[in-house]
Amino acid sequence: MSASQFSSGDVIADRRADYARMLGESDEFAAAAELMEQALEITPQWAAGWFRLGEYREKAGLTEPAISAYRQTLALDPEDVFAATLKLALLGAADVPEQPPSRYVESLFDDYADRFDTALVEKLDYSVPGKLAALVRPHAPFASVVDLGCGTGLFGAEIRDVATRLEGFDISANMLARAERKQIYDHLGQSDLTLPADQSGLFEGLQNHRADLVSAADVLMYLGSLETVFPLVTELLAPAGLFAFSVEDAGGGNGFVLRESMRYAHAEDYIFGLLQTYGYDLIESEKTVIRMDGGNAIHGILFLSRKAG
């Protein structure tokens, strides 16, 4: 939750929330929750405050009160910019949604854009762009590449020299602005991969079946069910075009799971099933560590597949 989102509009409530934040940073979560409750007595319609209260209660082990706070957040913020639905699912109070709230993902990356490259590459040892580029380079050059969830352009920079035309799409306007500064894309556009093709933003003034490579580097963990993504990719790809993508590895099973990180992990068999259903041949897959998170290695799977010719 960014500082810009976290203001009640009341000076006294904000001051109490700031004291609560300091207590939370000292792991005094029960005391932090009490101060947030006082702030919300002053500003009961403050959705961000209810979400922060839910976090403090959750960390204090107060599960039912946390659930109540998250439900109140959702009641005040139906667009769910704070992803209260995901929190409720993780606490067992709701079913795991097939997709996260689009406004949450957009806001998350808008807030993250300015520090994205430094945080991922230098601090979290993020390696997906380079590893995914290594999978696709033996099949280069490419006449047309569409980079889904392009972010600031980390994958685009890896393959710019082997792409005649490079397009990038992202849900976050701030991420797209950062990518534009790098001047590596021929076209940049805002898109939502959870929407049908005609609403996604991927085809506004652009042809269907135009790409011989579609990439999704570190994107699908923010989508859950991939039943919307594969039809979009199929519409983008020319016959025999390549789809290169990464997922967080869910291990066994045949589906996807929501993790405490609020990201989704996908089972290998789930991906294999989707490739078969939508007519893709698997060329190569690679299990690897894709980043660090809290000192722990996050394991993922890279896939390179080919659409039927």
Task: Look up the CATH number of the domain holding residue 87.
Answer: 1.25.40.10
- Predicted confidence at residue 138, as pLDDT, reads 98
Q: Is residue 6 part of a domain?
A: no
| Separation in Å, CA 15 to CA 9, 30, 37 | 11, 18, 13
pLDDT at residue 2 greater than cutoff 70: no
* Same domain for 156 and 279: yes
For the chain, what is the mean pLDDT?
94
* Same domain for 116 and 248: yes
- Span 188-197, pLDDT tens digits: 999 999 999 9
Q: What percent of the chain has pLDDT over 70?
A: 98
Q: Residue 103 is inside which H or E element, if any?
A: helix 102-112
Q: What percent of the chain has pLDDT over 90?
A: 88
Do 261 and 217 meet the contact criterion of CB atoms below 8 Å apart?
no
SS3 content of the chain, % helix, strand, coil (to 5): 45, 25, 30
* Same domain for 181 and 88: no
- Span 234-277, pLDDT tens digits: 999 999 999 999 999 999 888 999 999 999 999 999 999 999 99
Residue numbers of the domain that contains 89: 11-95
- Predicted confidence at residue 124, as pLDDT, reads 76
Could you give the number of structural domains in the chain?
Answer: 2
Query: Distance between CA 266 and CA 224 in Å, rounded?
Result: 8
